[in-house]
Amino acid sequence: MKKYLPHALAALFFISSAALFAFVLDIRRELSETRTALAAQTAYISGQKADIQKANTKLGLAESAIVSKDTIIKKYESDIEALNLEVSDLRAKVNAQPKSRDSGTIIIYQEVPGGTQDTGSKDGATTYSWIDPTGRFHLIDPDIAKSGNENFSYKLKIRVTGYVLADPTGTIQARQVIAQEIIERTNSDGSVSEELGSPLPIENNIYEYSPQKIERKISDIIRPRAYALFDTSLNPGFGVELFNFGNYFDYFNIGAGPFISIETSGFPANLQGSLLGIGAQYTLVPPLVSTNIGIGIGVSTPADDFLGRFVVTGNIIFYLTN
């Protein structure tokens, strides 16, 4: 049997190399499809941007920007912690992270004519005016003896900030909105500074969303991924999982593929005693918990007695790719 050893090793090397090559091609294909889709989406958004912006003032549409998930998390994680949004329990239970963020400033400017006033009779007209310390509210009464000629005007600036928190799957989402008045103050040097007031109560806040769902295909079962292993003799090794049913069927995370378990006792003299085999493994335990750990069983044959005898081993699997 030893004369077949080089051929067996070459065959196993070819199978593993072909699987890895297929894996790389699959990754490149997915990246290419993603780039193509993103380019098409960007072109569409650019083409529609002018029309959308024309409707901004009337419809209150936001100027949208597409950014990466990591950017959202890094940029606004500290903001959420600082605002003390009272969602710490939710975030702790479902590992909620920022998914989107919107912010706008609302300027309210109105004049309110009329009003009523009770006063005693006086000779002549007495003019009365009032302005609040921040310059937001104005009351002008040209003649306090007359009722109905008062004029009250105000100008308010409101900042509305919204955050969307989502669990890693996007199934559970919650939107937090904070409205705060922007108070302008004139400094001694004539400059104007702004400060945010306390959060304002929000009477009604409705957020509707459709959870993002990734459609799976039966072909997703075939997704090669490399892994390292330790067998029941604590010998290290490596292999390639050629397919896994869990990529299509939830919790049925069973896969299979070739592996090599390296004989370390008396290394390197006993290297030819390394095991060449086929293994089946179970990934722990998507979608309940996503890990890169699995347990498996393998049927293998020693390289120096190829097909002369067979060995059954238990394996601990550590996936090198998702």
**Residues of the chain above pLDDT 70, percent:** 58
Report the largest interatomic distance among the alpha carbons of the chain, rounded to a whole angstrom: 126
Angstrom CA distances, 183 to 110, 160, 296, stand at: 17, 14, 64
Tell me whether residue 188 is exposed, middle or buried, using C-beta atoms within 10 angstroms of its C-beta: 0 to 12, 13 to 18, 19 or more: exposed
**Residues of the chain above pLDDT 90, percent:** 20
Q: Which residue has the higher pLDDT, 1 or 218?
A: 218
Amino acid occupying residue 288: L
Highest mean pLDDT pick, 98-102, 188-192, 199-203, 268-272: 188-192
Domain ranges of the chain: 2-32+216-319, 67-213
- Return the residue matching tokens 């003299």: 269
pLDDT (tens digit per residue) in 89-114: 656 665 666 666 666 666 666 665 67
| pLDDT bucket at 195, cuts 50 / 70 / 90 | confident
Least Cα distance to 174 among 287, 73, 97 occurs for 97
Other residues' Cβ atoms within 10 Å of the Cβ of residue 85: 17
Average pLDDT over residues 169-181: 76
Burial code (b: 16+ CB inside 10 Å, e: under 16) for 88-122 equals eebbeebebbbbbbeeeeeeeeeeeeeeeeeeeee
Q: Which residue has the higher pLDDT, 54 or 149?
A: 149
> If DSSP states are collapsed to H, E and C, what string results for 93-107?
HHCCEEEEEEEEEEE
Q: How far is CA 268 from the centre of its chain?
A: 48
pLDDT (tens digit per residue) in 47-67: 555 554 454 445 555 555 556
pLDDT (tens digit per residue) in 294-307: 999 999 999 888 88
Question: What does R_g of the chain's alpha carbons equal in angstroms?
Answer: 34
What's the pLDDT score for residue 178?
81
- DSSP-assigned letter for residue 46: H
Q: Is the pLDDT of residue 161 over 70?
A: yes
What's the pLDDT score for residue 174?
74
Whole-model pTM: value is 0.42
